[in-house]
Amino acid sequence: MAARLGLALWAGAAAAQPLPACDAAHPILQARRIVTQQDLMLSDAVVDLPDRLPRSWRDERVQIVYQLDVSGCAGTSDQVLWLPRVGAAFTVRAQGQHLRLLIGSRHLGRQPEDASSPPVYNGRMATLFALPANTHSVQLRLAAVPYMATGLLPARSGSDGQLLAPAVSAVYASSVVMNIATAVLLLITAAALLLWLRHLHEVGFLAMLLVAGWWATRAQLYSNSMLPMAPDWFDSFNRLNVLLTVASLQAAILWQLAPDEPTARRRWLEAPLRILLAATLAGAGAMAGALALGSGGLLARDFSDLCAMGLGLWLGWTVTTATGRYKGWRRTAMLVGYSGFLGSALHDTGVLNGALDPGAPMLLFWGVGLVLLIYAALTGDHIVRALQRAKDPSLELELELERRSALRSTELEEDYARLRDTECMVANAAGRQDERDRILRDMHDGLGGQLLSLLRGVERDALSPEQLRQSLSDSLAELRMLMDNAALDAELETTLANWYARWDAALAALGIAMVYEPDDQLADLHIDSATQRQLMHLLQEAATNVVKHAQATSLRLVVRVGQPADGSRLLQLELSDNGRGLGSGASRQGQHGLSNMRRRAHAIGAQLSVDSLVAPAQGCRVLLTLPLAAPATAQASGPERVLSPPNPA
């Protein structure tokens, strides 16, 4: 009751006011808003403009009507109404008839009225209407779900369109500029499409042409004052157009960032294109479902906007982080253009959601135009080449032969890569088989023979406990050696460290302290696995002789990497103990082990010396010298020279 009384007083006061002189535009800062839902009154109140609508009212079942007081110039014969922006497609009536739209100015003519169906106007564009004589009130009805959070912005009324010329001219000037830019964009797109038809493999160029086509179509529809289709379809098409534009833009830029090689390009683009297609289909499907059901349009459009914004942010991250054809100034230009595009998208989102001034101009059209302009600059050389090919058929044939040659070369490289992979697989399989055979031989000749001899001795009761213990110790050492040699790809530094770790624990149990002094340059050495096996067997024999015959309490392993004056490199392994040295008895007892050590050293081109240490030192020293690289003169003149070790200390 109080609300209706207030509305009556507002209407009465407006009618009772004396008519002022209509020599200026009169702002309309309030309106009566009537909201119903299936004959149920939701609201009937006077509101200030701009009018912020609750989200629950942005629904297909809700009808919103505004009544505007235009009595300020009711006594004039050329009264007009200017609406800068309306939150949805709308119809407008006064004195029981539909208003006539003024296009530009009165001198360009007035649109004839069609009484059979009320004209629906585009709320996104500013509109200027002629009012019947003595009009005091105008009724404006929203014909679709509002596309923005504000239903109606402040309007103006006046006695003549010329009084509103400063405000109206700016809006229509922008519209004219947009129409001209759109027409030019469509012409350039059509010409570029004709060039692309001769080079269908340029997928990225086609995607950017789609961007231009989508956006030019949207701009043409957007700038029309009257809707070319049903209001809900028009709003959904605008949102779908934004989604398709962003998706096509992303496809074009991803194609530019992808590697040049065809196979690598397909692999690089596979996952992004799937995400791109899924997001586009999801947004389009949501809007199609809302149109089919006749409800949920706002939620579907918000979901489509979310898909478009997600794709836009993802593309921005891709442009920022990916490396490809955009380098140097090209990369900077693309980042500038894409930053402008994202900034305009965020600005327009803020305007639509009410976070920014709802009367602010929309910038997304110009943001997309900036990206298209920069892309055209980056791909201008492609357009020039296409024009040259169109003028010179011989050049076209030459470039086609080059393209086919490059494609054939790529196919041959792929075939070679597959063949190489197959050969590597066969070689690896053969290598693994050879390694298994080697391990089996080593186990049979070494560990197997030792265990068999041990078994025969136990069966005949021919071994003392000390001999049995020693034989088992030798077998365990042989097993450790097999384990060390199983890692074919290990570096020498790692192999020596593993050998030391195993022997340090074993010798400590026997009361022998072991010291390991590796060279810092070991990390830079790369020695093949066969040579490493011989070195480890040689160290194994030497350490075993120390345990069996030397009666030592300490064992020291020193590894040195040297470089004599002739430029070659040497690897020296020195194993010394503090035992009793090489006596006649010890020499005879270790003769078989020493023979094996010399045989292994000879097999790898190394030199071996076994000497007793000179007094006052005590014990024995085993020194192995392995040449790693012969001098350049020796390589040129004959076989590799084996370098002599330094004299014993």
User: Model confidence over 191-214: pLDDT tens digits?
Assistant: 666 666 665 566 767 777 777 777
Residue 256 confidence (pLDDT) above 50: yes
Peptide bond into 616 cis (omega under 30): yes
Measured over all CA atoms, what is the biggest interatomic distance in the chain, rounded to whole angstroms? 139
* Residues linked to residue 65 through DSSP beta bridges, in sequence order: 34, 141
Close Cβ partners of 7 (under 8 Å, ≥ 6 residues apart): 32, 44, 45, 46
Per residue in 331-381, pLDDT tens? 777 778 878 888 888 888 888 888 888 888 888 877 877 877 777 676 665
Report the distance separating Cα 484 and Cα 473, nearest Å. 17
Report the distance separating Cα 632 and Cα 637, nearest Å. 9
Close Cβ partners of 278 (under 8 Å, ≥ 6 residues apart): none
Model confidence band, residue 577 (pLDDT cutoffs 50, 70, 90): very high
Instruction: Select, from the ranges 41-50, 284-293, 590-599, 624-633, the one with the highest average predicted confidence (pLDDT).
Output: 41-50
Name the packing angle between helices 329-353 and 364-378 (round to 10°).
170
Edge-to-edge strand list for the sheet holding 607-612: 513-517, 554-562, 569-577, 620-629, 607-612
Mean of the pLDDT values across residues 54-83? 86
Residue 616 confidence (pLDDT) above 50: yes
Q: Do 93 and 139 meet the contact criterion of CB atoms below 8 Å apart?
A: yes
Q: What are phi and psi of 214, to 5 degrees?
A: -60, -45
Residue 289 confidence (pLDDT) above 70: yes
Helix, strand, coil % (nearest 5) of the chain? 60, 15, 25
Model confidence band, residue 486 (pLDDT cutoffs 50, 70, 90): low
Of residues 550 and 435, more confidence is placed in: 550
Per residue in 133-157, pLDDT tens? 888 899 999 999 998 999 999 998 8
**Which residue stretches of 105-147 are H helix?**
none
Question: What's residue 105's pLDDT?
Answer: 33
Question: What's residue 109's pLDDT?
Answer: 35
Element (H, E) at 629: strand 620-629
Question: What's residue 52's pLDDT?
Answer: 92
Mean of the pLDDT values across residues 309-315? 81
Element (H, E) at 621: strand 620-629
Q: Is 442 exposed, middle or buried (0-12, 13-18, 19+ CB in 10 A)?
A: middle
Peptide bond into 50 cis (omega under 30): yes
Mean of the pLDDT values across residues 274-302? 87
Residue 615 confidence (pLDDT) above 80: no
Q: Which of 249, 253, 242, 382 is nearest to 321 (CA)?
A: 253
Report the distance separating Cα 124 and Cα 216, nearest Å. 16
Report the distance separating Cα 45 and Cα 51, nearest Å. 11
Mean of the pLDDT values across residues 521-539? 82
Question: What's residue 295's pLDDT?
Answer: 84
Among 39-48, 105-114, 567-576, whose mean pLDDT is lowest?
105-114
* Plot region of 134 (φ>0 → left; ψ -120 to 50 → alpha; else → beta): left
Per residue in 404-424, pLDDT tens? 666 667 777 777 777 777 777
Among 12-21, 67-76, 330-339, 404-413, whose mean pLDDT is lowest?
12-21
Of residues 115 and 227, more confidence is placed in: 227
Q: In Å, how far from its chain's centre is CA 307?
A: 17
Question: What's residue 450's pLDDT?
Answer: 64
Mean of the pLDDT values across residues 117-135? 85
Q: Do 242 and 305 meet the contact criterion of CB atoms below 8 Å apart?
A: yes
| One-letter amino acid of 193 | L
Q: Do 249 and 286 meet the contact criterion of CB atoms below 8 Å apart?
A: no
DSSP 550-602: I--SEEEEEEEEE--TTS-EEEEEEEEE-S--S-HHHHHHTHHHHHHHHHHHH
Of residues 583 and 361, more confidence is placed in: 361
Residue 169 confidence (pLDDT) above 50: yes
Residue 303 confidence (pLDDT) above 60: yes
Average pLDDT, the chain: 75
Residue 558 confidence (pLDDT) above 90: yes
Per residue, the 3-state secondary structure of 43-86, as one string, reads: EEEEEECCCECCHHHCCCCEEEEEEEECHHHCCCCCCEEEECCE
Of residues 193 and 325, more confidence is placed in: 193
Q: Do 105 and 243 meet the contact criterion of CB atoms below 8 Å apart?
A: no
Element (H, E) at 373: helix 364-378
15-19: long-range contacts (C-beta < 8 A, 24 or more apart)? Answer: 15/71, 15/136, 17/71, 19/71, 19/72, 19/73, 19/74, 19/75
Could you tell me how many residues make up the chain?
649
Instruction: Tell me if residue 450 falls in helix, strand or coil.
Output: helix
Mean of the pLDDT values across residues 233-259? 82
Q: Which of 580, 551, 595, 574 is nearest to 649 (CA)?
A: 574
Residue 68 confidence (pLDDT) above 60: yes
Report the distance separating Cα 154 and Cα 359, nearest Å. 9
DSSP 242-304: HHHHHHHHHHHHHHHHS-SSHHHHHHHHHHHHHHHHHHHHHHHHHHHHHHHHT--HHHHHHHH
Q: Do 614 and 648 meet the contact criterion of CB atoms below 8 Å apart?
A: yes
Question: What's residue 442's pLDDT?
Answer: 62
DSSP 179-241: HHHHHHHHHHHHHHHHHHTT-TT-HHHHHHHHHHHHHHHHHHHHT-SB-SS-HHHHHHHHHHH
Question: What's residue 398's pLDDT?
Answer: 60
Question: What's residue 325's pLDDT?
Answer: 58
Question: What's residue 440's pLDDT?
Answer: 63
Instruction: Tell me if residue 622 falls in helix, strand or coil.
Output: strand
Model confidence band, residue 50 (pLDDT cutoffs 50, 70, 90): very high
Per residue, the 3-state secondary structure of 12-49, as one string, reads: HHHHHCCCCCCCCCEEECEEEEEEEECCEEEEEEEEEC
Question: What's residue 213's pLDDT?
Answer: 77
Q: Which of 217, 219, 121 is nearest to 179 (CA)?
A: 219
Q: Is 520 exposed, middle or buried (0-12, 13-18, 19+ CB in 10 A)?
A: exposed
Of residues 118 and 146, more confidence is placed in: 146
Query: Residue with structure tokens 């980056």?
Result: 378
Mean of the pLDDT values across residues 532-556? 85
Model confidence band, residue 555 (pLDDT cutoffs 50, 70, 90): very high
Among 57-66, 86-95, 612-621, whose mean pLDDT is lowest?
612-621
Side-chain half-sphere exposure of 636, counting CA atoms within 13 A: 3
* Residue 558, token pair as written in the block: 């020193």
Question: What's residue 406's pLDDT?
Answer: 67
Question: What's residue 161's pLDDT?
Answer: 56
